[in-house]
Amino acid sequence: MKKTDYNKYIRDLTKNMFLLISNYIDSTYHISDDYIKKNIFLNSLTSYSYEGGGRQLSNIFNIPEESIIKTGTIIVMINYQLYIDYYKKLNLDNKLKRDYQELSEITFEKLNNSNTPEEITNLIALLDTHIPYCMLNTMLKYDKTSVYEKILQVKALDSEQVKKLVSINPFFETEVDKYDIDISLAFIKDRINRLNAGTFSDNKDRVYNETVDFIYNLSKIRKNEAASLLDEIIIESEDIKLSSNSNGKNMKCSYGYISKSKLKSLLIGMTKEEDISVKKKK
């Protein structure tokens, strides 16, 4: 197994396992309720016993071999991925002060206080709460999460949080390398042109709105990175007439404050010609 394949492998494995168990529950017990099926699946994870192999993974994760045999190598890896995916989501929601339903300080405190295989397994076994269900939902939806959101989730982590998650799952470091990247104007223009020519070719307004939201959210968690990107945009657009008032919502750069609507118009202007040239090449 290549190091870079690990996270996707575990998510795909979990998705396939859940699909099989879900179909079985539906056809055998005629239960279609999503919440019930997901909690039955999570309950099966915590009670599952796996006795094959695991010595190499035991060394990688620094887990006693008897713990591997008791809990199950595969289950340990799935539990770690459930934990990390949910931790990233709640951490970003918390820092952006998003309007969320499942997040509370108590929930995030429980995540922060769970570090060992036993503690994480116990957290997922809390089937009398909504936490495990939300954890599984987050993992199953991860593949459909936008690149922008994945970048924000990683960039919202501070160095101590990254260190903690890497200590839980050494393979998480590859995800940090993939998404904690330099957000330059070239990157933004490339993303806009790719989405305009592909996934959202019939809804370009959505592309610009999501890009502006991404930059706005970036300014909340990585102010210097966002300011540097905004400086690039202002310089290329040659439009330095910005507001001197933050208004509590505007983004700050070296030239003043820029609103989301102003940023959107600048991005449309500087990617319009490139979009036309891409169509001509086709």
* Tokens (6 digits) for 70: 């008791």
Nearest one of 176, 253, 185 to 219, comparing CA atoms? 253
Domain residue extents for the chain: 3-145, 185-281
Q: Give me the pLDDT at residue 146, please.
A: 96
* Tokens (6 digits) for 108: 């995030």
Q: Give me the pLDDT at residue 202, please.
A: 86
Q: Give me the pLDDT at residue 123, please.
A: 85
Q: Amino acid identity of 183?
A: I
Q: What does the buried/exposed string (b/e) look like for 7-25 if buried means 16 or more CB atoms within 10 Å of the residue's CB?
A: beebbeebeeebeebbeeb
What is the C-alpha to C-alpha distance for residues 267 and 262, in angstroms, rounded to an integer? 9
Digit-by-digit pLDDT tens for the chain (282 residues) are 445 568 888 899 899 889 988 998 999 989 999 999 998 888 877 765 444 444 555 565 666 666 655 556 778 888 899 999 999 999 999 899 886 655 567 788 888 888 887 788 888 887 677 888 989 999 999 999 999 999 999 999 999 999 999 998 888 999 999 999 999 999 999 999 999 988 788 899 999 999 999 999 999 999 999 999 999 999 998 877 777 777 778 999 988 899 999 999 999 999 875 554 444 444
Nearest one of 2, 3, 13, 4 to 142, comparing CA atoms? 13
What is the C-alpha to C-alpha distance for residues 143 and 251, in angstroms, rounded to an integer? 30
154, 88 contact by CB (below 8 A): yes
- Who's near 219: CB < 8 A, 6+ residues apart? 226, 227, 230, 251, 252
Strand partners, 257: 243, 252
